Amino acid sequence: MPVLERSGPLQSGLCQVEWIHTVCEGSEPFGGPSVDVELPDSLGERQVEEAVSLLVARHEVLRTTFAQDESGQAVQRVWQPERVRLHPSDDSLRAPFRIESEWPIRAALTQQGDGRRELTLVMAHIAIDAWSMDVMLRELRTILDALACGELPELPPVVHHPVDQARLERSERMRAVRARNLRFWEEEFRHLPSGPFAVPVIPPEVGYHHVHLDSWALGPALTRIGRRLSVPSAFLAAVALAVSAVSGQDRVAFATAWSSRASRPTRQMMGSVTRDLVLAVGVPRDGRFQDLAAAAMHASLRAARRSDCDVLELLEAEARAGRHRGARTHPGVFVNFHYHAEAEGADGDGGSSPDLAPLLTRGRTERTHLPPVPFEDGPHLLYMSALPAPRAVRRCSSPPTTPCWTRTAPSP
């Protein structure tokens, strides 16, 4: 029988959204992440189990269950480390997790057609977010390489876990900060545009779009733009321009994911703490793209500084503001950008002027089958860009040109 090590409330963020949806609907709203890791030839099955066991022993969240206490409140229970046994490589590997009784990680050995062996890991989303995946893969490769050489892995100790984060958030000092931040968001929700599209609810058939852009010329352009602007702010400003042109609004509301890893201890922590931030970006009728991107970055930083608040309290505040106004305050567009850092052919001509037109006019739009959002009456549009970035940064003697625009009213 597993031995309970400690327990505590849930930390704020995606973990809360996953838990409440699981309690209400019986399953997590988003499928758990999975990853395949190629194994060194010298590692046997027991050594692979040892590698996964070392990872699980390091990170409490990988040996945590999520349930309700006697009063119905969410509680995460951390169990003492045990040896992890490999899971059969069949359909049950990717079955929904029983988060109230099952550790949120499964590991299996899979054999590829060319003879290569891979370690497949499947996780529950309530325990791990995108940042955590990077931490896990980095440490797992270190562990596997060390065991393949007959050595013990050398990794710094993990000093901060989700239970520690949850207790910190509920400390006396943070309680006052969270209260101030909640008041900030209540005021922000009252003044947010109700959404960029003139419909009360976005129809399900257009609820999600996946925009995939394949522009090799954009890699060098982003390199030069990145000398003055951050790449995310350039993406956000470009989408703001597009949505403003379509909707006719000069102030557009977005939701964007924030890693919530501002403090040093949280950067090594595995846990589901990502949250959505609401941004209101103003798009003037005429102006420089650089100024719009700077305003988008300012809005992002402003929202991030106020991100320390309970996600469930935030959703309640948003709903109250919507009822008071008689309109939805949740943004109609969720922006989640990705670009490839090592794409073939992305070097291009480093002396060319940056051209943001591919962000708005090229590429293809695809229907993407995604799981439903946590609340059925609040669909998003999802804009995702997979863009090649250059392998090598080429310095140019001439400064990048500054794109400008003039916004015109949309056609009826």
User: How many residues are listed for the chain in this entry?
Assistant: 412
Closest to 222 (Cα-Cα) out of 366, 385, 97, 365: 385
Predicted local confidence at residue 165, as pLDDT:
94
Distance (Å, whole) CA 214 – CA 388: 7
H runs (alpha helix) in 119-227: 130-148, 162-169, 172-191, 218-225
Q: Is CATH 3.30.70 the right assignment for the domain spanning 196-406?
A: no
Contact 7, 78 (CB under 8 A): yes
Fold of domain 4-164: Chloramphenicol Acetyltransferase (3.30.559)
Give 217's Cβ-side CA count (13 Å radius).
11
Distance (Å, whole) CA 359 – CA 238: 7
Q: Residue 264: phi, psi to the nearest 5?
A: -60, -45
Pairing of strands 105-111, 4-8: unpaired
Predicted local confidence at residue 392, as pLDDT:
32
Question: For every one of its 412 residues, what pLDDT tens digit does the chain have, with 9 covering 90 and above?
Answer: 689 999 999 999 889 989 988 888 887 766 778 889 999 888 999 999 999 999 999 999 999 999 999 888 999 999 999 999 999 888 888 899 999 999 999 999 988 877 788 999 999 999 998 889 989 999 999 999 999 999 999 999 999 999 999 999 999 989 889 999 999 999 988 887 766 555 545 555 544 555 555 556 666 776 777 777 777 788 888 888 888 887 788 888 887 778 888 778 888 899 999 888 888 888 888 888 888 988 888 888 888 888 888 888 888 888 787 777 665 555 556 665 544 333 333 333 333 333 333 333 333 222 222 223 333 333 333 333 333 333 332 222 333 334 454 444 444 3
Predicted local confidence at residue 252, as pLDDT:
84
Contact 99, 124 (CB under 8 A): yes
Predicted local confidence at residue 375, as pLDDT:
32
Distance (Å, whole) CA 89 – CA 118: 11
Across the strands, what pairs with 15?
none
Give 213's Cβ-side CA count (13 Å radius).
23
User: Are 4-164 and 196-406 in the same CATH fold?
Assistant: yes
Predicted local confidence at residue 215, as pLDDT:
59
Structure-token pair, residue 61: 């969240």
Amino acid at 49: E
Question: What long-range pairs does 216-219 form, CB within 8 A, spacing at least 24?
Answer: 216/343, 216/345, 216/346, 216/348, 216/388, 217/348, 217/352, 217/355, 217/358, 218/355, 218/358, 218/359, 218/387, 218/388, 219/343, 219/346, 219/347, 219/348, 219/387, 219/388, 219/389, 219/390
Distance (Å, whole) CA 297 – CA 301: 6
Predicted local confidence at residue 326, as pLDDT:
64
Predicted local confidence at residue 6, as pLDDT:
96
Distance (Å, whole) CA 306 – CA 179: 10
Closest to 258 (Cα-Cα) out of 327, 199, 308: 308
Which residues are CB-contacts of 402 (< 8 A; sequence separation ≥ 6)?
288, 289, 290
Distance (Å, whole) CA 143 – CA 151: 9
- Longest C-alpha distance within the chain, in Å? 70
Distance (Å, whole) CA 412 – CA 255: 27
Q: Residue 122: phi, psi to the nearest 5?
A: -120, 130
Amino acid at 56: V
Which residues are CB-contacts of 272 (< 8 A; sequence separation ≥ 6)?
13, 14, 15, 18, 61, 125, 126, 127, 128, 129, 132, 162
Handedness of CA 237, 331, 316, 96 (dihedral sign): negative
- Residue ranges of the domains in the chain? 4-164, 196-406
Contact 292, 241 (CB under 8 A): yes
Q: Using the CB atoms, write b or e for 384-400: b if 16+ within 10 Å.
A: bbebbbbeeeeeeeeeb
